Amino acid sequence: MGVPVVAAVAAAAAIIFFAFTAGQPAAMAAIVEHTFIVSQVNMTRSCKETLVTVVNGQLPGPSIEVTEGDSLSVHVVNKSPYNITIHWHGVKQRLSCWADGVPMITQCPIRPDHNFTYRFDVAGQEGTLLWHAHVGCFRATLHGALIIRPRQGASSYPFPKPHLEIPMILGEWWDMDLVKLDRNMVGGDFLDNPTAMTINGQLGAPFNCSGIVKDGFVLEVETGMTYLLRVINAALFTEFYLKIAGHKLTVVAADANYVNPYTTDTIAIAPGETLDVLVVADAPPGKYCMVAVALQSPKPDQQLPFFMTSGTVQYSHKNGTSGHHNVAPVVPDLPDQHDTMTTYYFHGNLTSLRQPQVPVHPDEYFFITLSDGSICRHGRQSCKRSGSNESILAVAMNNVSFQIPRSVAAPLLESHYYHRNNDTASIGGVDLFMLPNSPPRVFNFTDHSLVPDGPKEAQLEATEKRMVGRRFRHGTAVEVVFQNTALMQTGSHPMHLHGHDMFVLAQDYGIYDEVKDVAKYNLVDPPVKNTVVVPRLGWVALRFIADNPGVWYVHCHFDFHDTRGMAAVFIVEDGPTVASILPPPPDDLPKCNHDDDGVFNELEPYEGKDGVSQS
Ligand code: C2O
Ligand code: CU
């Protein structure tokens, strides 16, 4: 099955058309076309063969390279047995919410043996993003780089022109079937672990197969040259520290927005984040180890096995052959998997290179707690919690956990589009539950003693499953403070907003203080991000302008949180001008797949198999 697909890849290389834009004779906007054939192939990464779902037979999938202002047209041909959508993570999708690729929010998924062409412009952004499947856990194998170069060419980079640019995708390898993984998570069981960590799909050391250590990713460099690493985190569960022995790393962009150059020896990158990083080959010629270590919160949080992967930076000889084959690589000090300070400072040290227009006074303000919670089974009002069988664990924002009811038969965006003048209460015939502006209870949010299971937090856990979201008038300046909690666990959360970038104004440990902490806001050069890491035992404050009409998913980019409801929809209404009205859906937008009882079926029904009640 794999062979014909691989053969098709060569034929499906990117096609680029150029079109002259009227009135701008100098600017050539291209239409960049790709064909993505989604199919299952057998791959051997660990000791055994695993059937994986990939694009064009490759893992990672093909890189998309465009110039700022280009249009993309990606033909997705679904030859897999699953429903699929592809999301263009971080692409702003101005007036093209239809192409955002979120099942049942912006589109019905592409059914097996069906096609859909995603068409959208990539404008006003430069740097590295990624594309990935947005169905179940398929992001683990269906992902690739999306690279946006400046229209004026590489010499217009606001940093020294690199000799080479290399996508570096950090990910996980799962021997486990990803459909089973998703089913387990929806059912409240999240004890599954990946097999290994990967760089560009390679396992690397220390993973070994029957005692033989795997060769990892190799970066060939020449002395004195500068390299641009386009680092992407495509993992489902893992935030990484990345380090190269003997070399400094200079971050020049994050989430396709330039930052003031920030030089460090360790970068931190959470799922959904992307970083453009310069590395200069200025060490004595030789071999240097690069390591990516998976972070986790210290005990008493639940502990996963220690995971890391390695690759090699290899200096080549002037005559073109690479030497040093028998030399052992220089190994860096390993980052500590339990060190959550380094990522905190790393993210806190990023500032925008170009001063963005930050809204000075927000029109709307949210204080949102991120926490674990629990829902009584069988629709009961009260039950035993904290891990008891009477309840199921969920994750939530302000104690509401996102779920699209099974009765919703059409994507929310479609319902919204055809009933745009409706009241604010419903969408597609279903009540849109208003995301509360603050949590139902105030407590000592970051109190460590909430971590071990116990009756103490039972009242705080009470969570409801809802189709939760908020509607914003076009142009609303929104401020969100995400307050992390220690309820049952203390992990961080990479919160991702579709269709908009966010200004990250401040972060700190402990509990946000509405009066005092506003003074810490950076309104001058805050980093501009699509994924914002909410620190462990702390908070982050951000603003964005809701000026892109559509229905936008906002969620934690850890898959086990997204799947279990740490999510909402932000609905942005049309603006007053023609240029601020969402155009009609494309004609070929997929139709939904309803099973026998007429109910929509994604990969699995949205409802868990365990009888969690629908509201
Ligand atoms: Cu990268 Cu909603 O996703
Ligand atoms: Cu999370």
Read off the pLDDT of residues 374-383 as tens digits, 9 standing for 90 and up: 899 888 888 8
What is the spatial distance between Cα 515 and Cα 501, in angstroms, rounded to a whole number?
26
Find the ligand nearest to 134 CA: 1
Residue 126, pLDDT > 90, answer yes
Query: What is the spatial distance between Cα 479 and Cα 500, in angstroms, rounded to a whole number?
Result: 13
> Which ligand 1 atom is at minimum distance from the Cα of 531?
1
Lowest mean pLDDT segment, chosen from 20-24, 321-325, 344-348, 580-584: 20-24
In this structure, the residue with its CA closest to atom 3 of ligand 1 is 89
Name the architecture of domain 158-354. Sandwich (2.60)
Fill in the amino acid letter for 614.
Q
In the structure encoding, which two tokens stand for residue 374, read together?
Answer: 């629990």
Which atom of ligand 1 is nearest the CA belonging to 132? 1
Which ligand lies nearest the alpha carbon of 396?
Answer: 2
pLDDT in the model for residue 604? 41
Per-residue pLDDT, 594:
63
φ and ψ of 396, to 5 deg: -150, 160
163 Cα: distance to centroid of ligand 1 (angstroms): 31
Q: How many helices (H) and strands (E) does the chain have?
A: 6, 38
3 state DSSP class of 544: strand
The pTM of the full predicted model, rounded to 2 decimals, is 0.92
How much is the average pLDDT of 218-243?
97
| Ligand 1 atom closest to the CA of 130, numbered from 1 | 1
**In the predicted structure, residue 332 carries a pLDDT above the cut 50:** yes
Nearest ligand 1 atom, CA 272: 1
CA-90 nearest atom, ligand 1? 1
Q: How far is the CA of 382 from the centre of ligand 1 (A)?
A: 34
pLDDT at residue 20, as a whole number: 46
Tell me how far apart the 2 most distant CA atoms of the chain are, in Å.
74
The DSSP element (H or E) to which 177 belongs, if any, is none
**613, pLDDT greater than 70:** no
The full length of the chain comes to 615
* CB-proximal residues (5 Å) to ion ligand 2: 493, 556, 558, 561
CA 347 centroid distance within chain: 16
What is the 98 CA–ligand 1 centroid distance (Å)?
15
442-477: per-residue pLDDT in tens?
Answer: 999 998 888 865 556 788 888 999 999 999 999 999
pLDDT at 349 over 60: yes
Q: What is the whole-number distance in angstroms between the Cα of residue 571 and the centre of ligand 1? A: 16
Q: Which atom of ligand 1 is nearest to the CA of 271?
A: 1
To the question of domain 364-580 being in CATH 2.60.40.420, the answer is yes
Distance 88 CA to ligand 1 centre (A): 8
Same fold yes or no, 158-354 and 364-580 = yes
Q: Is the CB of residue 467 less than 8 Å from the CB of residue 408?
A: yes
Residue bearing the CA closest to ligand 1, atom 1: 89
Report the alpha-carbon distance of residue 165 to residue 142 in Å, rounded.
Answer: 22
Question: Between vectors from CA 543 to CA 263 and to CA 251, what angle results, nearest 5°?
Answer: 10
- At 60, which amino acid appears? P
What is the pairing mode between strands 127-133 and 164-173?
unpaired
The rounded mean pLDDT for the chain is 89
What is the structure's pLDDT at 46?
86
Q: How many CB atoms lie within 10 A of CB 113?
A: 10
Please tell me the predicted confidence (pLDDT) of residue 614.
Answer: 32
The residue type found at 174 is W
Ligand nearest to the CA of 534: 2
Residue with the larger pLDDT of the pair 101 and 46: 101
Going from the Cα of 302 to the center of ligand 2, the distance in angstroms, rounded, reads 15
What mean pLDDT comes out for the span 162-171? Answer: 98
Whether residue 407 is predicted with pLDDT greater than 90 in this model: the reply is: no
Q: Which CATH class is domain 1-156+586-615?
A: mainly beta
Domain locations in the chain as residue ranges: 1-156+586-615, 158-354, 364-580
pLDDT of residue 23: 41
User: How far is residue 608's CA from residue 354's CA, in Å, rounded to a whole number?
Assistant: 46
What percent of the chain clears pLDDT 90, i.e. is strictly above it? 74
Q: What is the mean pLDDT of residues 103-125?
A: 96
CA of 225 to the centre of ligand 1 (A): 34
- What is the per-residue pLDDT for 326? 67
Q: Output the ligand 1 site: residues, CB below 6 A.
A: 87, 89, 132, 134, 272, 496, 498, 553, 555, 557
What is the whole-number distance in angstroms between the Cα of residue 580 and the centre of ligand 2? Answer: 32
29 pLDDT band, cuts 50/70/90, is confident
